[in-house]
Amino acid sequence: MKIENIKPADIEKRSFEIISETLGDKKLDPRYELIIKRCIHTSADFEYADSMYFSDGVADRIKEAIRNGATIVTDTRMAQSGINKKRIEANGGEVLCFIGDEDVAAEAKSRGLTRSYVSMEKAAHLGKPVIFAIGNAPTALLSICSLVAEGKLDPVAVVGVPVGFVNVVESKEQLIDSGIPAIVARGRKGGSNIAAAIINAIQYQL
């Protein structure tokens, strides 16, 4: 097979052209088109053209929060690594992940919960506007929903795209039903790469 000789800067542009060509006549909501296409770009999986849920106005809400220096909290180091930090930090924000913290591990063990669950409780104590980017743990979504229901957390929005087979679909539907501003990839698919892609797609529009 022939390798196309394409300049580094043009590879992403050409990729998005191929995605648009492949989508053909399929209509995407123009408010979310760049987010959906970046999910496809990062996974080569066109199912994201059909599986994504956006609560009303959520993309503008996240954009505005990033502009005002909101903190982004992820459930995995992978999602944290995948989020482009330059623009977020330039606006006064930061990208945090508490999953590896010793206090989180100790508390999770003593209470018989996942570290993901407890790491969201830790985020609730930050005392500043938080956007959650959850690509792995359904228990992180359940933790966020409980904290909001108890009045202990009021997130800017939740990117809820865990991947997997146990409680994943259910946790995403619970997030949607909660009324928390959210972007969700319905079904089993998602991942830390998808969580990061969604945050990046939004901040690249700033």
Query: Which residues are part of the catalytic machinery?
Result: 41
Ranges within 58-117 binding a second copy (CB under 8 A): 76-78, 80-82, 108, 112-115
Nearer to a second copy, 8 or 151 (CB): 8
Which tokens in the block code for residue 12?
């992403």
Of the ranges 23-31, 39-47, 53-61, 125-133, which one interacts with a second copy (CB under 8 A)? 39-47
Least Cβ distance, residue 64 to a second copy (angstroms): 27
Q: Which is nearer to a second copy, 2 or 125 (CB)?
A: 2
- For the record, the structure tokens of 200 come out as 């990046």
Which residues from 107-166 bind a second copy, rule CB under 8 A? 108, 112-115, 139, 142, 163-166
Alpha carbon distance 77, 98 (integer Å): 9
Per-residue DSSP letter, 56? T
Spacing of C-alpha 174 from chain mean position: 16
The H-or-E segment that residue 157 falls in is strand 157-160
Give the span between the Cα atoms of 10 and 75, in whole angstroms: 32
Nearer to a second copy, 8 or 30 (CB): 8
